[in-house]
């Protein structure tokens, strides 16, 4: 059923009160096809709303993807292949796989949003990205109205990037995603504070469930709950620079945080850069920079998308002025 002039406040984790000209949900491909026959100037597909910033009303049709279901496709001696509907909550999928002792997703615990967005962003955390466990996905071409399968190579995954963010932006609706998970998990605990948290938890026998809980504990201690304070998690990407530029910066800023990448480039910690510019804990009206994590911009109540976008621009400019490094927004601006 189409609803008119529909508030999207409950459907984006920033809690921005923007409206859709028309709104509906779909839980099958058949329902999607019927809704696409509605003659509108534009169609916007909404997932969990955890990685978007609405800066205006949407003068068109907004369709929320509610395709559910988790199933085991096949298995061999080493791996199990699992398919999930695009509307499945990401963390619920992670917990489902952990309960079956299928390894690979545990480091991605508690990332907000739905499964369909995971390959779009190539979501990642604590040393793991979607590309490491991705098998394939099915997507529906909005104009040609046909199903297309994408394998790992087709998705052209990069750092928080895929073909769906640029090349095929607004061209496809992801219907389901399949993952290749391990029956004999290899534990990844070297990134961030995972080992320290496992020790604090008193874990003596390592497991994917223990790693997941450690990640959940760390995320909850550092990141605000969108149900309490409007946010979309990390607002900026960690920038990459050349090794020579890093050495120059290190001379001026001895405590600068950087990680060497394959190929020699250095990934900087965007949160550290922003914090050095004095933004951590900043608040003006209902918009601000979170007190515990400078990467997270927040809506304390009635901020507009424009307010948050303006703050992000100020932050980008100040980091560039101080360090000569240009931050890029990770959140999709609508």
Of 30, 18, 20, 31, which Cα lies nearest the Cα of 61? Answer: 20
Of 122, 132, 312, 325, which Cα lies nearest the Cα of 240? Answer: 325
Alpha helices in 69-116, H assignment, sequence order: 90-99
Task: Give residues with Cβ within 8 angstroms of 191, minimum separation 6.
Answer: 107, 126, 127
Question: What's residue 264's pLDDT?
Answer: 87
Cβ atoms of residues 297 and 312 within 8 Å: yes
Distance CA 29, CA 301 (A): 36
Could you count the other beta carbons within 10 Å of the beta carbon of residue 235?
27
66-93, pLDDT tens digit by residue? 999 999 999 999 999 999 999 999 999 9
Measured between alpha carbons, how far is residue 54 from residues 8, 27, 303, 307, 308 in Å?
Answer: 9, 24, 11, 11, 10
For the chain, domains (ranges, CATH) are 3-65 (3.30.43.10), 70-182 (3.30.465.10), 230-333 (3.90.78.10)
Question: What's residue 41's pLDDT?
Answer: 65
Distance CA 208, CA 201 (A): 14
Question: What's residue 39's pLDDT?
Answer: 65
Residues assigned a catalytic role:
160, 234, 330
Task: Find where tokens 């509906």 sit.
Answer: 24
The helix (run of H) or strand (run of E) holding residue 209 is helix 208-222
> Which portions of the chain are predicted below pLDDT 50?
none
């Amino acid at each position: 059923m189409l609803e008119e002039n529909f508030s999207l406040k409950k459907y984006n984790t920033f809690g921005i009160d923007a409206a859709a000209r028309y709104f509906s949900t779909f839980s099958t491909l058949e329902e999607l096809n019927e809704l696409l026959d509605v003659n509108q100037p534009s169609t916007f597909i909404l997932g969990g709303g955890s990685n978007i910033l609405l800066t205006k009303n949407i003068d068109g049709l907004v369709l929320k993807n509610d395709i559910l279901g988790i199933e085991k496709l096949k298995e061999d001696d080493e791996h199990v292949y699992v398919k999930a509907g695009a509307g499945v909550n990401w963390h619920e999928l992670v917990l489902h796989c952990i309960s079956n002792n299928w390894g690979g997703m545990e480091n991605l615990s508690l990332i907000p949003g739905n499964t369909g967005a995971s390959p779009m962003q190539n979501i990642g955390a604590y040393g793991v990205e979607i590309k490491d466990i991705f098998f394939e996905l099915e997507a529906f071409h909005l104009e040609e109205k046909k199903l297309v399968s994408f394998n790992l190579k087709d998705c052209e995954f990069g750092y928080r990037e895929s073909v769906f963010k640029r090349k095929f932006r607004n061209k496809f609706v992801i219907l389901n995603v399949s993952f290749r998970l391990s029956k004999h998990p290899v534990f990844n605990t070297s990134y961030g504070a995972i080992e320290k948290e496992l020790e604090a938890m008193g874990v003596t026998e390592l497991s994917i469930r223990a790693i997941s809980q450690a990640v959940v504990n760390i995320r909850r201690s550092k990141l605000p709950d969108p149900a309490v304070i409007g946010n979309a998690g990390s607002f900026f990407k960690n920038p990459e620079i050349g090794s020579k530029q890093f050495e120059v910066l290190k001379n001026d800023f001895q405590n600068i945080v950087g990680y060497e990448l394959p190929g020699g480039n250095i990934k900087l910690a965007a949160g550290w850069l922003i914090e050095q510019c004095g933004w951590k804990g900043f608040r003006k009206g209902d918009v601000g920079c979170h007190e515990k994590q400078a990467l997270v911009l927040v809506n304390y109540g009635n901020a507009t998308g424009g307010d948050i976008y303006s703050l992000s621009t100020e932050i980008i400019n100040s980091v560039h002025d101080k360090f000569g490094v240009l931050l890029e927004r990770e959140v999709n601006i609508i």
